[in-house]
Chain A
């Protein structure tokens, strides 16, 4: 671990910081999440570090709790989308034939509708709870992962070592997880960092539109929505979540880049 480049160090540091804050939010936040403690849009002071929001709640506490919600939803949704997307993608590549056709065309169908619109329609119909939100985001995003996983695995599935495994009589499970997956890892890891950030943006967008995390629960998109009117009066409260999202995005991708470099330079790695 001693050869971590400086950029990955920075990324790792910030990412870890965000996750630590998310996990220990109740201990770190100076006030309660929904506690009204001051006036509307108070400027930052020693009492309220980032000022207060549109109904007088402490903005720093809101940001910390909001980060917790946003990061949690994005993480679980990313894991869900990767597990479903890559398993189905690998399966399609290994099986080929009509199974591949059915899966791929279904995915094409889903992808042909912008995922935000699909999500809005579904969330307008069902009660918006966090598990439902995660499920909708994860499954919609898994179509992207499916495409990547399938494309990578198709190349691998025609290699002689996969044919050798088939001739040996290995089952699909072995072929997918022992022959294909280790060789498909680098592009998937690179995609993981990117998709996580898309998830953060996705959940923020939904919340901003009022179909994501429901008040009084805080999340970064919701904070922007609540405080957007303040911008007119020169109140920057809506910009803090933007800064948080930007720094998280950059630091996660710095880490993803580093992992990508490491896995591709593994002995005998692809590309």
Chain B
């Protein structure tokens, strides 16, 4: 028997689309992809959304999700073509020979059943092990994956463990039946960076120790570089480049791969603070209605005209709450906000139209930030109408100017949001806030829902617009690469407090406090062996203490 575990040849996958008002038609979403995976090796599938990477991953289990159909090609697992085999055989394959780890463990576990029952289910169902053996094996895996209290954690329900732990439980679930192949579909994407690093290391060690082969699907090249032996870069259902990890990272041949490798290399010169800040947040403490603890504790930050303050933190650190307090959606319990030399009323309803106009906001999810029933022209035109009383030709001319500024152009004026791509939607949202001629824009995770190359474009656009319009940004993000690219000053938040605040060079250079150090060192870097270096470094430090 050869040591080729998975052999995919000329795989073609199609789907039926239902465009509104037209007849349904068939489209091809994967156009003939081929690759080999040896036993015990990891192949990384990387690409932007819509590249077909998850679809290919699922095809290796002979599965098409949501109306997707495998239309051609061959998928050989352990020497047989699973596309030509019987249903019974495929049932044995799934959960036995090939298993799957999905992006959101929280959505994939059944909340009504204990973790252990779900982890051993496939192995017992497939009659690979008896329940007792499977449970023992699960406990071993829990320990190997670094879960706390591995003997008893299986007795808990999914909501009783954290997100990162649940993702590791899911990995245990996939490894429990001793599969030959595991498909990891964005297993760390939903996690915070500091959690991601532990899960990543656990997955990597588990793969190495159990000797399974794995497909690792992600959009983050820096992550895949840490775990895989080979990488396949996909774009729109086609292979762009296929090679060893070393070659893809250090010597990419195709232009597209080079762009992916060099993403977020925007150079941004830090500006000096001015004497008069546009926004100063002074001693803000806030809590939500019905909670008996504060979400923000005594937050003090300043933002200078035409500059960018990045607010960084993990989920739950209070950074979005800070934005809600500044906009007036959540009146603070204590402290005050000065904006453009005026004291801002804590309550949105009592702010003047001028205050509202000069302080704009851009949201994370551009598709729900725009009314789906309004055209782009209406969306951008409304602030012009509302704040400046523009009508008719004057308004139209200004809308076209704004559309040109965001690099879209006049032809987009009559389109609906649903007809735009993710990046274009976010551009329209930027234009809408610029239409108000604001002094300051709050950007709440504006690039985190976008693919890296698109996000890069948005960041560049924001920086260019800052130069032209002299607008200040309060940039909320969890992504440190973004912070490096655009900020002049940085506030690091942790559990509702600002733990580190200063100019970019101060914050990003040592000496660090513990949390900032942890956060900075957890950001995946695009070179081989980074993961091991960080983990070794941390072990040394904890040994030294």
Q: Bound pair: A and B?
A: yes
Binding site for B on A (CB under 8 A): 3, 159-161, 163-164, 166-170, 178-179, 182-183, 265-270
* Pairs A–B under 8 Å by Cβ, sample size 8: A161-B369, A161-B371, A164-B432, A169-B353, A169-B357, A178-B371, A266-B373, A268-B373
Which B residues from 1 to 55 make CB contacts under 8 A with A? Answer: 20-21
Q: Tell me whether B151 is interfacial, beta carbon within 8 Å.
A: no
Please measure, in the bound complex, the distance between the C-alpha atom of A91 and the C-alpha atom of B492, giving whole angstroms: 40
Q: Which residues of B contact A167 (CB under 8 A)?
A: 327-329, 348, 356, 360-361
Residues of A within 8 A of B327 (CB): 167
Closest to A270 in B: B372
Shortest CB distance B22–A (Å):
10
Interface assignment of B383: CB less than 8 Å from any CB of chain A: yes
Residues in chain A near residue B417, CB distance under 8 A: 268
Which of A159, A167, A182, A266 has the most chain B CB within a 10 Å cutoff? A167
- The interface residues of chain B lying within 8 Å CB-to-CB of A270 are 372
- Name the one of A160, A168, A169, A178 contacting B369, with C-beta atoms under 8 angstroms: A160
CB neighbours of B351 from chain A (8 A): 169
- Size bracket, chain B contacts: 20 to 34
| Closest residue on chain B to residue A182 by CB atoms | B373
> In B347-366, which residues have CB < 8 Å from any A CB?
348, 351, 353, 356-357, 360-361, 363, 365
Q: Is B382 an interface residue (CB 8 A)?
A: yes
B residues with a Cβ closer than 8 A to A are 20-21, 327-329, 348, 351, 353, 356-357, 360-361, 363, 365, 368-374, 382-383, 386, 416-419, 432, 436
B369 touching A267, Cβ below 8 Å: no
**How far in angstroms is the closest Cβ of chain B from A27?**
40
Verify A163–B329 contact, CB threshold 8 A.
yes
Going nearest first, the 9 A-B pairs with the smallest beta carbon separation are A268-B418, A268-B372, A182-B373, A160-B369, A267-B416, A265-B20, A169-B356, A161-B371, A268-B416
Q: Which residue of B lies closest to A161 (CB)?
A: B371
**Which residues of A sit under 8 angstroms from B20, Cβ to Cβ?**
265-267, 269
A169: nearest chain-B partner, CB-CB: B356
- Whether A161 lies near B370 (C-beta < 8 A) is yes
Q: Which residues of A contact B365 (CB under 8 A)?
A: 160
CB distance from A90 to the nearest CB of B (A): 15
Docked CA distance A140–B416 (Å): 38
CA distance A168 to B419 in the complex (A): 25
Which single residue of chain B is at the shortest CB-CB distance from A160? B369
Name B360's closest neighbour in chain A (CB-CB).
Answer: A167
Question: Which one of B357, B365, B386, B419 has the greatest number of beta carbons of chain A within 10 Å?
Answer: B386
Q: Which residue of A lies closest to B324 (CB)?
A: A163
| B461 → chain A closest CB, angstroms | 19
In the assembled complex, how far is the CB of residue B388 from the closest CB belonging to chain A, in whole angstroms? 12
| Residues of chain B within 8 A of A269, CB atoms compared | 20, 372-373
Cα A269 to Cα B266 in complex, Å, equals 38
B418 with A267: CB separation less than 8 A: yes
**Shortest Cβ distance from B536 into chain A, in angstroms?**
43
Shortest CB distance A24–B (Å): 36
- A169 engages B386 (CB within 8 Å): yes
Contact A170 B370 (CB under 8 A): no
How far is the CB of A120 from the nearest CB of chain B, in Å? 42
Q: List, in ascending order, chain A residues with CB within 8 A of B416's CB.
A: 267-268
Q: Could you say which residues of chain A place their CB within 8 Å of the CB of B368?
A: 159-161
Say yes or no: A164 contacts B363, CB within 8 Å: yes
**Residue among B328, B373, B374 with the most chain A CB within 10 A?**
B373
Using A167-B328, A167-B329, A179-B371 as known contacts, list a sample of 5 further A-B pairs with CB atoms less than 8 Å apart, ordered by residue number in A. A3-B21, A161-B370, A164-B432, A266-B373, A267-B416
Contact of B386 among A160, A161, A170 (CB under 8 A): A170
A270 to B327, CA, bound (A): 28
- Given the interface contacts A169-B386, A268-B372, A268-B418, does A164 sit within 8 Å of B353 by beta carbon? no
Report whether A183 and B361 are in contact in the complex, using a CB–CB cutoff of 8 Å: no
Q: How far is the CA of A169 from the CA of B436 in the complex (A)?
A: 12
Name the A residues within 8 Å of B386 (CB-CB). Answer: 168-170
A183 B371 Cβ-Cβ under 8 A: yes
Docked Cα-Cα span, A265 to B22, in Å, equals 10
> Closest residue to A163 on the B side, CB-wise?
B329
With a CB–CB cut-off of 8 A, which chain A residues contact B372? 183, 267-270
Give the residue name and chain of the B residue nearest to A162 (CB).
Answer: B371
The CA-CA distance from A93 to B356 in the complex, in Å, is 23
Which residues on the A side are within 8 Å of B21 (C-beta)? 3, 265
Q: Which residues of B contact A159 (CB under 8 A)?
A: 368
Known: A170-B386, A267-B419, A268-B418. A164 touches B369 (CB 8 A): yes
Minimum CB distance partner of B19 in chain A: A265
Residues of B with C-beta under 8 A to A3: 21
In angstroms, how far is the closest chain A Cβ from the Cβ of B19? 9
